[in-house]
Amino acid sequence: MLLLGLTGSIATGKSTVSQILAAPPYNLPIVDADKVARQVVEPGTSGYEQIVSHFGPSTPDLLVAASPEGGGEHGHNGKGRPLNRPALGRRVFGEGKESDKKALNKIVHPAVRKEMYKQMISAYLRGSWAVVLDVPLLFESGWEPLCGTIMVVAVRDPKVQMERLRARDEHLTEEDAKNRVDAQWDVREKADRCSRRGEKAGVVVWNDGDKEELKRDIDRVMAVVKRGSPPWWAWLLLLCPPLAAASATWSYVRSWWIKRQWEQEKQREKAKL
């Protein structure tokens, strides 16, 4: 089974691409890291309790306001009020907040990984030829070596990204939006890194235009992906676990080596400055 890593940057259209891949003619199972991240911090979970314990004392508006409609102080499920995500976002994004962001990632990432592995195994056992790993921070969080192919959704014009972000999240000021974009790697650099993997192991979907243009570009890159990992190969791996293990090991080692070469190249470039 092909692990197709889907990533991009905030407001570049990754979620739209994910929806297209989940629908006909592709019908691919989606393991959505954002959705999983919300699930693992719902009231009553270990992640929720850790976030409230760490950020609650210094973030008065960390939880949504109590109301009769929302179940009062104990929330709908009786396990607490949901997290106030805009307030948490303001707390961890922006200059001088790196330690807060690291603390949040340390809580959320392990729980997210565990749930994503469960969903990947489920897709494999159902005989899917590929599963999409929808991970916004795929390169940053270490998922890259696990993916046989990576698809980056990018825009060439930075203004397009900012306009889409503010249109989507109207509560963001221009400064808030800029901080959120700057908190992530430049999407054009991600596209370059992805392309370095080779034609069948790294594909880029450009999304500066409308949805019809986007669909055409997805069709183009998915044709490349299928040539590199056809459905019959997925069935062969399912029926022959030793071959699946060998293929996965080779894919991981190759991806790790490409990642290492990229990092060394960037280090050399910084050393020249």
Write down the domain spans for the chain.
Answer: 1-29+129-273, 40-125
Over residues 198-211, the pLDDT tens digits come to 888 999 999 999 99
Check whether 147 has a pLDDT greater than 70.
yes
**Using 50, 70 and 90 to split pLDDT, how confident is the model at 58?**
confident
- At what angle are helices 174-182 and 158-168 packed, to 10 degrees? 120
Over residues 229-266, the pLDDT tens digits come to 888 888 888 888 899 889 889 988 988 888 888 888 88
Check whether 15 has a pLDDT greater than 70.
yes
Specify the CATH number of the domain 1-29+129-273.
3.40.50.300
Q: pTM of the full predicted structure?
A: 0.80
Tokens of 159: 């203004």
Q: What is the mean pLDDT of the chain?
A: 88
Check whether 101 has a pLDDT greater than 80.
yes
Tokens of 190: 């991600």
Check whether 68 has a pLDDT greater than 70.
no
Radius of gyration, alpha carbons of the chain: 20
Q: Which residues contact 23 (CB under 8 A, 6 or more apart)?
A: none
Decide the pairing of beta strands 130-134 and 30-32.
Answer: parallel
Any idea which residue has 């192919």 for tokens?
149
Check whether 70 has a pLDDT greater than 60.
no
**Mean pLDDT, residues 153-178:** 89
Check whether 78 has a pLDDT greater than 70.
no
Q: Do residues 256 and 139 make contact, with C-beta atoms less than 8 angstroms apart?
A: no
* Per-residue confidence (pLDDT) for residue 51, from 0 to 100: 92
**Mean pLDDT, residues 61-79:** 68
**Mean pLDDT, residues 90-117:** 84
- At what angle are helices 231-239 and 241-272 packed, to 10 degrees? 120
Tokens of 265: 């190249």
Check whether 125 has a pLDDT greater than 90.
no
